[in-house]
Amino acid sequence: MACAWDFQFRVLLLGDSGVGKTSLLRRYTNEEFTETTGPTVGVDFCCRIEEPEDGVRVRLQFWDTAGQERYRAVTRSYYRNAACIILLFDLTSRKTFENIQNWYQEVTERAQPHPLIFLLLGTKSDLRDLRDVTREEAQNIANSLNAPYLETSARTGSNVSAALSLICRELLRAAREEKTTTMEHSMVGFSIGEEAQTHRTLCIC
């Protein structure tokens, strides 16, 4: 039976414990918000199908990682198998924002030479009175990482779908820029469905 998707991408979520990685994914995949969630132990997994273009189905395979240091050895093993890294920080916690550079450096050191797409997300944007990081500061970091930046709220759903749809389009664009016509891609964390392989000249142009 043919795959129900044309392209599949592995997306890794990274950030300090408590920034809202699990809450954001639950809002995106299940359209729900839970006031309290337990800390992720190791790595959790979920998927969602996007259709960024008519007739093109993209399966986003999300790996939700634990932010605690004691699980770092586990999460590091996933770096090389990702096509995209979503870096998250809590807009009400400057420490989580300052650690973004550390997360970025850790990933790039271990993922080389494979190229990665990055997205920077500020979470808990609904807590305006508690905000501790300005939009300008966050945008400056995003520019230095060559990454798009959005502010999200899992509680209200603000910008959650927009952020993940954006990364879906970026991943699809990068896949189409692959020069090879074989399955030996320079881009990792990337699979092509059976139907897309059959009609490759239409899907990868």
E strand or H helix that includes residue 180: none
CA distance 202 to 196: 8
- Residue 113: is the preceding peptide bond cis (ω within 30°)? yes
- Report residue 31's pLDDT band, with 50, 70 and 90 as the boundaries: confident
Q: Domains of the chain by range and CATH?
A: 7-203 (3.40.50.300)
Highest mean pLDDT (candidates 37-46, 93-102, 107-116, 158-167): 93-102
Highest mean pLDDT (candidates 50-59, 80-89, 95-104, 165-174): 95-104
Cβ 145 vs Cβ 153: under 8 Å = no
Closest C-alpha to 171, from 92, 121, 118: 118
pLDDT tens column, 144-172: 999 999 999 999 999 999 998 999 999 98
181 has pLDDT over 90: no
Q: In terms of DSSP bridges, do strands 117-123 and 149-151 run parallel, antiparallel, or are they unpaired? A: parallel
